[in-house]
Amino acid sequence: ETGVTQTPRHLVMGMTNKKSLKCEQHLGHNAMYWYKQSAKKPLELMFVYNFKEQTENNSVPSRFSPECPNSSHLFLHLHTLQPEDSALYLCASSQDSTYGYTFGSGTRLTVV
Amino acid sequence: GESVGLHLPTLSVQEGDNSIINCAYSNSASDYFIWYKQESGKGPQFIIDIRSNMDKRQGQRVTVLLNKTVKHLSLQIAATQPGDSAVYFCAETTGNAGNMLTFGGGTRLMVKP
């Protein structure tokens, strides 16, 4: 365990479903991130939260909706996704740029 | 735009040999660099980092070299083991970017027994 826990580990959903991904960090960090990892592509930053405030939305479609109720929890709400949204979704946290990010194990999402 | 990239997508080495994974970056203002290892089914895991005021840093079996002149970063793994098989990412950031890391495309290291 890295201190960043993601659930569920695997998720299969239909294009009309609504689901949520959860991330929890036990490291006392003040920043949390959502990344998308597709095959043969670099990690794509989706959202950044600093002290619970969203500071970055990297041109992500509105069918992805983040929520950060406190500095330890981060959600990614999903609705009406497309098959091309199938990917590994990674959550990360950091205190500042001095130490880099700690990643969770990811949620493997398949949209059918 | 600024980018971080890797020279080789796949590297195959014999167990016991040394491995060298390379990374080029384009932002001359980058001052902090990290190598991550991602095993199958897991998230990226921190291996080693280096700041721009250094050109070499050593860990356990790993060494990171930074050449700021040519904007090149490398990860050396000594006596490569089967457990080293993974995808390796470099990442960089600048002080001005705050916490934002830019990741390279990744290199897959395959260790042959």
Is the pLDDT reported for residue B106 higher than 80?
A: yes
Say if the Cβ atoms of B105 and A90 lie within 8 Å. no
Is B1 an 8 Å CB contact of chain A?
no
Q: Please indicate whether residue A85 or residue A55 has the higher confidence score (pLDDT).
A: A85
Percentage with pLDDT > 70 across chain B: 88
Residue-wise pLDDT tens digits, B6-29: 344 899 999 999 999 999 998 888
Q: Which has more confidence, B59 or A98?
A: B59
Residues A82-87, mean pLDDT to the nearest whole number: 94
Q: How far is A77 from chain B (nearest CA, A)?
A: 20
In total, the C-beta contacts within 8 angstroms joining chain A to chain B are 57
Beta bridge partners of B10: B108
| Window from A87-101, B19-33, B52-66 with minimum mean pLDDT | A87-101
| pLDDT (0 to 100) of residue B7 | 45
**pLDDT digit string, tens, across residues A11-68:** 999 999 999 999 999 999 988 999 999 876 778 889 988 876 777 777 899 999 999 9
Assess whether pLDDT exceeds 50 at residue A100: yes
* pLDDT for position A40: 64
Residue B67: pLDDT band by 50, 70, 90 thresholds?
Answer: very high
pLDDT score, position A57: 72
Chain B residues with CB inside 8 Å of A56's CB? Answer: 100
- What distances in angstroms separate CA B77 from CA A82, B85, B103, one per listed residue? 40, 11, 20
Contact B45 A90 (CB under 8 A): no
Mean pLDDT within B22-39: 92
| Residues of A in Cβ contact (< 8 Å) with B95 | 97
- Best B99, B101, B102 member to test A by mutation, with max A CBs in 10 Å, is B99
Strand, helix or coil at B107?
Answer: strand
User: Nearest residue on chain B to A96, judged by CA atoms?
Assistant: B99
For residue B14, list its beta bridge partners: B112
Could you tell me if B49 lies within 8 Å of chain A, comparing CB atoms? yes
Q: Containing H/E element for B72?
A: strand B72-77
Shortest distance between the Cα of A79 and any Cα of chain B, in A, equals 24
Q: Are B99 and A43 an interchain contact pair (Cβ–Cβ within 8 Å)?
A: no
How high is the pLDDT of residue B96?
61
Q: Which residues contact A4 (CB under 8 A, 6 or more apart)?
A: A23, A24, A25, A26, A27, A91, A92, A93, A102, A103, A104, B43
Residue among A31, A103, A106 minimizing CB distance to B99: A31
